[in-house]
Amino acid sequence: MARLLPALVGLLLCLSCSGSNPDLVVYCALDQDLSEPLILEFEQRTGLKVQAQYDVERNKTVGLVQRILHEAESHPHADVFWNNEIAHTLRLQHAGLTEPYQSPAAATIPSAFRDPEGHWTGFAARARVVLYRTDQDLPVPTKLDDFLKPEFAQHGAMAAPLTGTTLTNATVLAQVRGRQAMLDWFAAARAAGLAFGSGNADVMRRTAAGNFHWCFTDTDDAAKAIDQGHPLAIRYLEQGDGHTGALLIPNTLCLLKSGKNQKAARQFADFILSTEVEARLAHSISRQIPLHENTQIPDGVGRPGVDFQVMDVDWAQVGAKIGDIARLLQTEFVR
């Protein structure tokens, strides 16, 4: 066995030396199964070699964001950050790490989902929705304050607002109603019997399994549960006159100032922000909601502003406050 050692060492040394410098480095927080084929297609079309890095649940989007922040201190690597939400992209913008770029491919995306200076562009969004069981005769919330009523809350669940889109949702709530009112809202929901889980996908799974009648989650998680053949449907909250509309959280793409491959980064942005890619994400298993006005969408995906009402959000404010809100909620929920 010991005679095999030199051969093993040689093999591993060869493996460690293999590989060459990429033409583009993309940090991507979207589902690897969705983003990887698109990145590969970009490679095929352009002939550029892309090094993609992905994120995982336990770090939400913050693993890559932290990595960008830490790498920026000494020797940055990423050219593009493709985030599956928006708040932490704004954090990078506030840190002065983003490079403005107005992609011509994003011209038909509404201005509410684009930074005026082009530091980031939103596309392929997820909405915060109620996913409920269609085989149970129980009430389903239609607005956020229904969560505070025991007849709804005792059969429902949502993720604790510590990371991801639920944290963004809590920050938006604080922005709309005030910080203390947001904390009071969570306290009242808990007192009414609402269950808090650790993530959107987890509460979705529990609803699909029949442990809850409904959960407050994202449309991509909801779409996967429905695709798996569970008797479930979604409901957009806060619809109708006098209501704020559903919260829509887009994917965001930003170029990084320190990127060494700006030309390739722009090419990549033009590709990812195209209607073609948005349509593919809309037709994918996670049913991302297109923001381009002219994207073809499949059945079951709502068009914002047409099929459901969308909430107006000051994203710059959300980005500025999300760090403080995260710290505040950690002391409330990590117990």
**Residues 137 to 176 in contact with another protein, rule: CB under 8 A:** 159-160, 162-163
Positions in 252-311 near another protein (CB under 8 A): 286
Q: How far is the CB of 149 from another protein (least distance, A)?
A: 20
- Contact between 137 and 131 under an 8 Å Cβ cutoff? The reply is no
Count of beta carbons in the 10 Å neighbourhood of residue 96: 9
Minimum CB separation from another protein for residue 111, in Å?
29
Binding segment for another protein among 27-35, 144-152, 272-280, 302-310 (CB under 8 A)? 27-35
- The pair of structure tokens assigned to 157 is 């669940």
Nearer to another protein, 63 or 118 (CB): 63
R_g of the chain, CA atoms, integer Å: 21
- Of 275, 274, 253, 276, whose CA–CA distance to 265 is shortest? 253
- Kindly state whether residue 191 participates in binding another protein, applying the rule CB under 8 A: no
Residue 71: partners with Cβ closer than 8 Å, 6 or more residues away: 77, 78
The site for another protein, by CB under 8 A, has a size of: 72
Closer of 186 and 271 to another protein (Cβ) = 186
Q: Which of 226, 289, 327 is nearest to 84 (CA)?
A: 289
118 is a site residue for another protein (CB under 8 A): no
- Out of 141, 199, 290, 319, which residue is the one contacting another protein (CB under 8 A)? 199
Dihedral of CA 288/93/78/49: which sign?
positive
Q: Pick one of 38, 225, 253, 301: the residue that binds another protein (CB under 8 A).
A: 225
Smallest gap from Cβ 326 to another protein, in A, equals 5
Work out which of 39, 52, 254, 297 binds another protein, going by CB under 8 A: 52
Contact with another protein (CB under 8 A): which of 198, 239, 258, 309? 198
Work out how close the CB of 292 gets to another protein at its nearest, in angstroms, rounded to a whole number: 23
| Binding residue for another protein, selected from 231, 298, 300, 305, defined by CB under 8 A | 231
Site for another protein in 60-89 (CB under 8 A): 60, 62-64, 66-67, 69-71, 73-75, 77
Q: Are 48 and 267 in contact (CB under 8 A)?
A: yes
Q: For another protein, which is the closer residue by CB, 16 or 180? A: 16
Nearest distance in Å: CB 244, another protein: 27
- Assess 128 for contact with another protein (CB under 8 A): no
179 binds another protein (CB under 8 A): no
189 is a contact residue toward another protein (CB under 8 A):
no
Looking at beta carbons only, is 5 or 306 nearer to another protein? 5
Q: Based on the number of CB atoms within 10 Å of its own CB, is 143 exposed (0-12), middle (13-18) or buried (19 or more)? A: middle
Packing angle between helix 32-46 and helix 262-272, nearest 10 degrees?
Answer: 120
Q: Name the residue nearer to another protein (CB basis): 44 or 111.
A: 44
Q: What are phi and psi of 193, to 5 degrees?
A: 110, 10
CB-nearer residue toward another protein: 293 or 332: 332
- Which of 215, 219, 222 lies closest to 248, judged by CA? 219
Q: What angle do CA 203, 239, 169 make, to 5 degrees?
A: 45
DSSP for 141-192 reads -SSGGGGGSHHHHTTEEEE-TTSHHHHHHHHHHHHHH-HHHHHHHHHHHHHH
